Amino acid sequence: MSVDAREMLHFAADIAGAAMGEAAYRSSISRSYYAAYHAAYAWHSALPVPGSAGSRRTGRHETLVNQLYQPGVKRSHFAYWQSIALARMLNRNRLLRVEADYYVNAVVERGTMMEVLANSTAIVERCAQREIPMPTQARCWHVSPWRLRDATTVAAPEECGGQRTA
């Protein structure tokens, strides 16, 4: 039997809902991150051109973040901006997951767990959208294209004439 990112995310939310202490916060952070990682990995794998991992050797998780930060598609392609947005959110979650999993002396609070869960939910939902809207249908957030929760879609600056629209 296999599991998908949404199921993993639901389990992380279940842990968060019943969390009564730091051990549960850490567990939810870890499960949330892995749900987001698997969704982002599948999304990246479906791109017509993979992103560049750069020349520095890194682990699989940091490599995916690097590939998302440096998409192989052109800047005019909607997936370019979405890739960067996913990279920012996934990297934030990755760093918090590393802290939760490996730094037992660090204090992990409920707010951190909720942040990772919210970011992971946004990543999983965004990656589940297989159809990418045409740029003319997109809302433009050219100043900060990574703010996925603020817009239905994200467009490159040249696609909206440099105007911020709502």
The model's pLDDT over 117-133, given as tens digits with 9 standing for 90+, comes to 999 999 999 999 854 44
Task: Answer whether residue 17 shows pLDDT above 90.
Answer: yes
Say whether 76 sits in a helix, a strand or coil: coil
The token duo for 5 is 């990112």
Radius of gyration, alpha carbons of the chain? 16
In CATH terms, 5-159 corresponds, of 1.10.10, 1.20.120, 1.10.260, 3.30.2450, to 1.20.120
> Measured between alpha carbons, how far is 45 from 38 in angstroms, rounded to an integer?
10
Asked if 140 contacts 165 with a C-beta cutoff of 8 angstroms, the reply is yes
Choice between 140 and 30, residue whose per-residue pLDDT is larger: 30
Locus of tokens 């919210």: 118
Choice between 75 and 149, residue whose per-residue pLDDT is larger: 75
The token duo for 100 is 């939760």
Name the band, by pLDDT with cuts 50, 70 and 90, for residue 56: confident
Task: Answer whether residue 71 shows pLDDT above 70.
Answer: yes
